[in-house]
Structure 1
Amino acid sequence: MFKRKMIAWMAMIGLFYSCQPSVDTTSNQVSSPDGTLVLTVALSETGNASYSVTKDGTAVLETSQLGVRRQDGEFTAGLKLTASSESKSIKDSYTLKVGKRRDNQYLANQKVFTFANAQDQIMEVIFQLSDDGVAFRYHFLGETGEQKFITDELTTFNLPNDARAWLQPCADAKTGWAQCNPSYEENYLMDISVNQASPTKAGWVYPALFKTGDNWVIISEAGLDKNYCATRLEPKSPEGEYKVGFPQDAEQIFDGELYPESTLPWYSPWRVLAIGSLKTVTESTLGTDVATPAIAGDFSWVEPGRASWSWVLLKDDMTNYPVSKQFIDYASDMGWEYCLIDALWDTQIGYEKIQELVDYAATKDVGLLLWYNSAGNWNETFQTPKDMMLTPESRMAEFKRIKEMGVKGVKIDFFGGDGQSVIEYYHEILTDAAEAGIMVNFHGCTLPRGWQRTYPNLVSMESIKGMEFITFDQKDADVAVPHCAMLPFTRNVFDPMDFTPVAFSEIPNIKRLSSNGFELALSVLFVSGVQHYAETAEGMQAVPEFVREAMRAVPVKWDETVFVDGFPGKQVVMARRSGKNWFIAGINGETEEKALTLDLSFVKGLQGTMINDGMTNRDLVQDQITVAEDGQLPIILKPNGGFLIQLSE
């Protein structure tokens, strides 16, 4: 059995959220602070607990099920509602190292419903409603060293039958290259019926996006600690009712836990639903608002930034000393903070030469990042270095070694699973890396679920079909444009995403459909604590100097994010502010030219530049612009095209 280490901060956050205000058994509703969202809890004659949600009086979620099946007790039927607390205001303020907004405030109304089963075992359901959505989780009271086991979670999200869905299938366990799935690397099915089943047995991953009437809903998960597995949505959704699903049998490692098990007290992860207009759900930070606060420690050494990277366009053979040195020079010339040296560096470069590269990079004000295989027998990957992450002893020895060498961070790849033992593994790596002073980026991995708040040294996670897939296969390149136009509405809403964007060059044996304006826009549209750029030094030299200057200027640390325009998979325009500088980027996910009038009233009167597509989709032109006093800016989006605006206050 893979032994979990209980740490004090988990207990502290449990106490924070389990506060017990005075009891009012007459009310079964809780509303958001502005009163527009109302959640109602009900209990059927057979003792089945359920909830429903309205927005401005209109149903967003119809009667949806609550309940958990524990090995030692059923919390699914025959329940009694023994108490409901008064509504209590929850306020929180926090700062993120990584994300679309640095300083964040959370205001919600909390209500706790207490249920007893036929054996008088107690289960609480904690609901919190903010103006932008709903979060809830289960709490099992008591104090015992005896392990408890959850075999099923009955939670459902019952959308109206005419709602539409934008969903990513979850790949079945042990499928794909080297049996690496699931790693959240599938293309989205867009604007489908909520009755349509997943093409995989594993179901659908989070975040899941829905439209019902005038309202949008994003469903996800947050606050996933070591005492639960990651969940998803089951493949079938009869009449629009989606059930929380557990991992498949093969999604466990170290012969450890698959389904949730823990001692008491025990909190489940938060079920998170951002609800409202497309602007509301896209700007929402609900996925980090309820995430576990940061572990104790000084994280001033964590510095987000941009990185050069040879592998995505040049592949394995070019992970060598001369090429790595060239990419360090490239990062230095662009003013980027990092250079990533990818798989096989241990055999094709070696520690001694890596030390030389670290020292050389330091003279250029560039930090080095190193790739590792998560290793283990759960997949067939061969890339090295392997085996160093498997035990706390080997992990800490390696982290200490590279920290003393001057390495800034690691990229750890090939996990492939959502079982509790895999989730424990992520937590153990992040905890040890934090202690060693190492930044972490996970690839071939699960969704972060707000971990960037809990572990400020977590700078990014892949969990998406990114640029590398465009270089592998034409069929993925053919759908890359609408795929990219989906991500600001789904995968990248709450969590950092290491898509590795921006390729101006032609890709060997691939016809790239995106324009260079489209590629440039991705540097702003996609949020990642370390943004690894795909383009090579040669490709960057081939574009106009004003493009290189833009790529030098675009930051990764954002103070503010504003949704301007868009529709999932069709087009998106986002504005992000860093200090006094605004970057506004847009892409067209379709093959027809679009004439848009952007409402930029929040930057009215500001001056700057706009880079847009030229006569062909490989040409770029730059113009000086001033945002009119009425804030309206007409713009043409070329087919598969994009633009980038830079403004200064």
Structure 2
Amino acid sequence: MKIIATCCLIFITAFSHAQNTAIVKSPDGKLQVKLEVIDGDLGYSVSYSDHMMLEKSPLGLLANEGDFSRNLTFVSTSTGETDNAYTLDRIKKSSVKYKANTLTYTVKNIDGKELNVHFQVSDNDIAFRYELPKWGDTRAVVIEKEATGFKFPTQSTSFLSPMMTPMTGFARTAPSYESGYTVDAPIEKNNARFGYVFPALFQIGQNGWVLLSETGVSGGYNGSHLSSFKEGLFTVEYPQMEQNNGFGSTGAQVGLPGSTPWRTITVGESLKPIVETTVAFDVVEPLYEASQVYKYGKGTWSWILWQDNSMNYDDQVKFIDLAAEMDFEYILIDAWWDDRIGYDRMEELIKYANSKNVDVFLWYNSNGTANDAFQTPLNKMNTSIARKEEMKWLQEAGVKGLKVDFFGGDKQETMRLYEDILVEANEYGLMVIFHGATLPRGWERMYPNFVGSEAVLASEMLVFVQDTREKEAFYATLHPFIRNTVGSMEFGGILLNKYLNKGNQRGQKRLTTDIFQLATGVLFQNPVQMFGLTPNNLEDVPEFELDFLRKLPTTWDETIYIDGYPGKYSVIARRSGKHWYVAGVNAESNTKTLKISIPMLQGRKVSFYNDDKDMQPTHSSLEIGNDGEFTVTIQPNGGFVLTDDL
């Protein structure tokens, strides 16, 4: 009888206030979302362990068939729960159990049309979306914008990357999610003209952390981003009209009944839930089956350091031989191959690679009309007729994957292009990497042949821009907490040349250590990794570094946060099979000594890769104590790795 009374009290507390207030909590009870309509405005707030993480923030949207951002009336609520499990071999964790409590909150607008806001709340994650029922005979609607907002407590600080100005940069290819970051900024200082990309990280004073992002964006909707700080809050913004050379709607064309993508909010007292979240994949489903079993792994890539001049048959043979010597699975052959090697000789090159047990990825320009990118192959990926003809040849030639570059933005037009490339590539047994591209939004689970996107200030900017070289360690300490925590990140790293060019004698000097580079191979997650090694590294790099790279996995079964602070240092652990890798890097100007807890390695013999005081690479064997604790010193711009994969 006492239990029944308690349950009734909880029900009344959650759903009875003025008959329009509803509360949904996580299974462990720590994370809480409160929804209510006040004076016609629908809003929500978020608390964690009784600390306010988001103050009352607006919900709603504006469609061509009605305004659902004001003058709303509460209709009803319904609650439930979801409990499922899935496996996925291309993210930070291969086996996932997802349990959440759900709340659907229904309102109607001044015309009597209803809108549902559906929330799913797990122990550290919130996912919500708008669900639109049929409205009479209406079957089609255009969502023009959202009122969705995020109002943080005033003491909050931000870690954000600005949205690039549309139709600027190289060949007018922006935005491509390749801006830097500002860190620890007061929220009121975030006034970038075009807002900020997802994901977006915030520290809520001493109370914890919040990561905002979105997931489930397919060809049926546009991608979104975060506005600048206005009138006390951030809001969800749709693409700027200038994207895609001004062509296409900034909103989304949706059939009824329909829904928007998911907005996600990850909350924690520490950064641990931020690093370990899988919410981007928990709330989406596969859109089709894989046409075959896809093989992941590492590859060589001549273009990153040898650049355009390496697009010739003889140099590609050298990089195929390098891949074979390193036991890598792939070579990526970049732009201009069709002109400088040709289709017939490419078939010969693919056969040579296969004779060395190396498979091939080929680069393509996505462009036909969106920007001025001119590298070839051009006009091969932007229409279905051209794609199918090209993909048929690729399949017959034995190519295993594509790297498709230079997309036009986040409009629904462009999202359809991403989806069309993926769907048709799967039909021909091809994996796809996107470059010069948007953030992947749940795509690893939605599209089984998707194997990564750039969407970051990646390795090519280390070659081209001095400021990026100087901030390499700074950015590396951000990615495990922001960009890479919501999706695979094809960075193209591990550069072991002293100078980032073919001569390796002078010019663009690398400012991080060799061990830093090895550590990023663990810190940065992508199932297919194209590394920046060059043939000379077989002679001028210590053999223990090469042996490390030969063993290094690219797929992981588990990821655990160990320590770190965005922009200062980062330490995480990943498990592949039975073996653990613990890696860290230091972006601060002074040597950093950490005492870390790594119970997964307690009592085990491990290989230890570290920099000495002269920044030279060292390798030793040692045993972690039975208490599972280890003290490590990380040099400035340096790193370390511990692994029991001996």
TM-score (norm 2): 0.94
* 1:206 counterpart SS class: coil
Q: Which piece of structure 1 moves more, 508-517 or 628-637?
A: 508-517
Q: Does 1:217 align with 2:210?
A: yes
Question: Aligned partners of 1:347 and 1:163: how far apart in 2?
Answer: 53
Q: Which residue of 2 aligns with 1:356?
A: 348
Give the 3-state SS of the residue equivalent to 1:325 in structure 2: helix
Structure 1 CA distance, aligned partners of 2:184 and 2:623?
37
**Counterpart of 2:29?**
35
SS across alignment from 2:486: coil
For the Cα contact (< 8 Å) 1:497–1:528, is it kept in 2? yes
Of 249-258 and 202-211, the range deviating more from structure 2: 249-258
How far has the Cα of 1:356 moved from its partner? 0.9
Match of 1:12 in 2: none
How far residue 644 of structure 1 moved from its aligned partner, in angstroms, is 1.3
Alignment partner, residue 230 of structure 1: 223
Question: Take 1:335 and 1:434, find their aligned partners in 2: how far apart are those partners?
Answer: 26
1:557 partnered with 2:545: no
Distance in 2 of aligned mates of 1:365 and 1:202: 47
Trace 1:478-493 onto structure 2 (pairs within 5 A). 478-493=470-485
What residue is the counterpart of 2:319 in the other structure? 327
Relative to structure 1, the CA distance from residue 374 to residue 648 in structure 2 (aligned partners, 3 Å threshold; closer, same or farther) is closer
Q: What's the counterpart of residue 564 of structure 2?
A: 566
Distance in 1 (alpha carbons) for counterparts of 2:382 and 2:138: 27
Quote how far apart the aligned CAs of 1:611 are.
0.9
Q: Are 1:246 and 2:238 counterparts?
A: yes
CA distance in 1 between counterparts of 2:547 and 2:195 reads 44
Query: Is the CA contact (8 Å cut-off) linking 2:21 and 2:34 kept in structure 1?
Result: no
Partner of residue 518, structure 1:
516
Does residue 185 (structure 1) correspond to residue 183 (structure 2)? The answer is no
Alignment correspondent of 2:381: 389
Which of 552, 577, 580 matches 1:579?
577
Q: What is the correspondence of 1:200-211 to structure 2 with a 5 Å cutoff?
A: 201-211=193-203
Amino acid at match of 1:36: K
Q: Distance in 1 between matches of 2:427 and 2:403?
A: 17
Tell me by how many angstroms 1:105 deviates: 1.4
Q: Which deviations, in whole Å up to 9, do the C-alpha atoms of 1:52-77 show, x marking residues without a partner? A: 00001110000000010111201011
**3-state secondary structure, aligned to 1:85:** strand
Confirm whether residue 306 of structure 1 aligns to residue 298 of structure 2: yes
Alpha carbons 1:224, 1:230 under 8 Å: kept: yes
Q: 1:643 aligns with which of 640, 643, 646?
A: 640
In 1, Cα distance between the equivalents of 2:292 and 2:396? Answer: 18
Tell me if structure 1 keeps the 8 A contact 2:367–2:378.
Answer: yes
Question: For this pair of structures, how many residues does the alignment match?
Answer: 621
Q: Quick check: 487-496 or 355-364, which moved more?
A: 355-364
Q: How far did 1:616 drift? A: 2.6
Per-residue deviation at 1:614? Answer: 2.5
Structure 2 counterpart of 1:625: 622
Deviation at 1:303, TM superposition (A): 1.2
Displacement after TM superposition at 1:360 (Å): 1.1
Question: Which whole-Å CA distance do the structure 1 matches of 2:292 and 2:589 have between them?
Answer: 45
1:434 counterpart (416, 426, 434): 426
CA drift of 1:107 comes to 0.7
Out of 502-511 and 603-612, give the one that drifted further: 502-511
Task: Kindly state the Cα deviation for residue 603 of structure 1 after the two structures are TM-superposed.
Answer: 2.0
Q: Tell me the CA shift for residue 615 of structure 1.
A: 4.0
Instruction: Give the gaps of 5 or more residues in structure 1.
Output: 1-22
**Alignment deviations for residues 583-625 of structure 1 (CA, whole Å, 9 cap, x no partner):** 11110011110110110112211112101113433x2111111
Contact in 1 for aligned 2:330/2:361 (Cα 8 Å): yes
Map 1:114-513 → 2, pairs under 5 A? 114-142=106-134, 146-199=139-192, 201-212=193-204, 213-239=206-232, 241-252=233-244, 255-276=247-268, 277-291=270-284, 293-505=285-497, 506-508=499-501, 509-513=507-511
Offset of 1:540 from its aligned partner?
4.1
Query: What is the CA–CA distance in structure 2 between the aligned matches of 1:108 and 1:580, rounded to whole Å?
Result: 29
5+ residue gaps, structure 2 = 1-14, 502-506
Corresponding letter in the other structure for 2:200: A
Normalized against structure 1, the TM-score is what? 0.93
* 1-structure distance, mates of 2:336, 2:612: 40
Displacement of 1:236: 2.6
Q: CA deviation at 1:202?
A: 1.4
Q: What percentage of aligned pairs have identical amino acids?
A: 36
- Could you tell me how far 1:91 is from its partner in structure 2? 1.4
Give the aligned CA root-mean-square deviation in angstroms: 1.5
